[in-house]
Amino acid sequence: MGRSPRSGQGLPQFLGCFRSLLLPARITPRVLFVYCLIFLATIIFIGIRMHFRTTLSSVLYGMPALSQIASVSAAATADPFRLYTISAENITAKLIPYGARLTSLLVPDRDGNLQDVVVGYDDPKQYLIDTETNHTYFGAVVGRYANRIKNGTFDIGTSVYHIPENENGGEDTLHGGWVGYDQRNWTVTSYTNSSITFSFVDRGLEGFPGDVVTHATFSVQTETTTENPRGLPQLTTKLVSLALTETTPIMLANHIYWNLNAFKDETVLNDTWLQLPLSRRFIGSNGILIPNGTILDVSAYDGATDFTTGKLVGEDIESADGLCGTDCTGYDTCFIVDRPPQYAARNSIVPIVHMNSSTTGISLDVATNQQALQIYSCNGQNGTIPVKQSQIKRNQEEGIDGAEYVNKYGCIVIETEGWIDAINQPQWGQLSDQIYSPETGPAVNWATYQFGTI
């Protein structure tokens, strides 16, 4: 029947046997027995695989609610752009698995009207397009190592690592490489009406050494606690990473763009007060924002960087010429957090930012366990990304003719993190907060964001 004579004797015999099994002339007890065996083998095989998977995920995630993990994660894997809402009184956050990303945050203004104070898109799918075009990192978790790594190179002990440089024509690695954590489809491992946890297993991605598992937990609450004595609406972010197999740099950060005036003004320069009470020093960098090893006092740049007692964002911005790189005026600066005696414990949570908007009356207080923070004043925006339609609508309903596009200086990014590129500046003494191994404790980036009104 057209079979190749070269296939020999064994194969046609085997195929014939197979065919008679699939299409038996007669159902004999022997055929039934073989069917039962195949059925049993399949069931056992699937069973073992499912069991293995469950065991694996419990090992990886170390979390108790296994059945919940399985069902929630299946949904998340299916759609990285599904919006998850968490809320408490006077605070509602929306997040998506793509980049473990905060896409909106509603808090009341001084009139009790809810405003969205984070920059982003209403349509979650737009974040994928953003990555391919502007690559703003709006609201994402960035990693494995936030900010820039000089020359994409670092040493650990006697090993030299070289990872892909994705910025400035090969001069440095920005936010973890070509495909950083901001582009990863995280797994939702827990979800309640006030908290969500995204998890991600990084198996030596982008050339970094070894496996790292991270749990990013976001929660909101309005209860009075020691950390929140006034019972203000509060967002808490916790990025907990474990080096599983090798010694590696780890420095994750949230990359949230804030706008406390909710785009009722064209920029944040003239209505937004910023205070960095503990930051008398910042990290000096070259024309492409790579640290050059210098630590500067905030009196540099005619005091443009001095936010210790607070001032309007725009007050001295003209003196911040070159501070955000060659031919750039504005802030893109890593401020050091120098802990006062009452917060001397190196990883205790300490208040580092106070910000408020005279337009909406919304205030934000940020506290963190991190040793530094990056402030970026949206110098790179140029009025080409539209403001969320949902916020434009709120502004119109209030009769306010606000911004329709995200303008230059139209927002502020606050990244609580370690001293940037400290892995290449061992003299700074920051390595114990940046290099992790299976033998060290976890890397924990913990921050709280409290909202009030003035």
Q: x/- contact string, 25-64, with ligand NAG (CB under 6 A)?
A: ----------------------------------------
Residue 100 or residue 102: which is nearer to ligand NAG going by CB? 100
Among 346, 392, 389, smallest CA distance to 368 is for 346
Q: Is 108 in the site for ligand NAG (CB under 6 A)?
A: yes
Q: Is 185 in the site for ligand NAG (CB under 6 A)?
A: yes
Other CB atoms within a 10 A radius of the CB of residue 308 amount to 15
- Active-site position among 165, 167, 206, 415: 415
Q: Is 125 in the site for ligand NAG (CB under 6 A)?
A: no
Q: Which residue is nearest to ligand NAG (CB)?
A: 310
When binding is defined by CB under 6 A, the residue of 58, 68, 90, 195 that contacts ligand NAG is 90
Q: Is 209 in the site for ligand NAG (CB under 6 A)?
A: no
Q: x/- contact string, 302-341, with ligand NAG (CB under 6 A)?
A: --------x-------------------------------
Site size for ligand NAG (CB under 6 A)? 36
- Active-site position among 165, 167, 175, 255: 255
Beta-sheet pairing, 272-275 with 311-312:
antiparallel
Q: x/- contact string, 373-412, with ligand NAG (CB under 6 A)?
A: -------xxx-xx---------------------------
Q: Is 112 in the site for ligand NAG (CB under 6 A)?
A: yes
Stretch of residues binding ligand NAG (CB under 6 A), selected from 245-253, 270-278, 370-378, 427-435: 270-278
**Sign of the C-alpha dihedral, residues 210, 215, 216, 222?**
negative
Residue 15 or residue 454: which is nearer to ligand NAG going by CB? 454
Minimum Å distance from CB 278 to ligand NAG?
13
When binding is defined by CB under 6 A, the residue of 183, 279, 377, 445 that contacts ligand NAG is 183
Rounded Cα–Cα distance for residues 193 and 218 (Å): 11
Q: Is 73 in the site for ligand NAG (CB under 6 A)?
A: no
> Can you give the length of the chain in residues?
454
When binding is defined by CB under 6 A, the residue of 71, 133, 159, 432 that contacts ligand NAG is 133
Residue 48 or residue 179: which is nearer to ligand NAG going by CB? 179
When binding is defined by CB under 6 A, the residue of 73, 173, 241, 356 that contacts ligand NAG is 356
Is 255 an annotated catalytic residue? yes
When binding is defined by CB under 6 A, the residue of 19, 162, 346, 393 that contacts ligand NAG is 162
Instruction: Name the residues that contact ligand NAG, by CB under 6 A.
Output: 80, 87, 89-90, 98, 108, 112, 128, 133-134, 151, 153, 162, 179, 183-185, 193, 222, 270, 273, 275, 284-286, 292, 294, 310, 354, 356, 380-382, 384-385, 454
Active-site positions read 255, 415
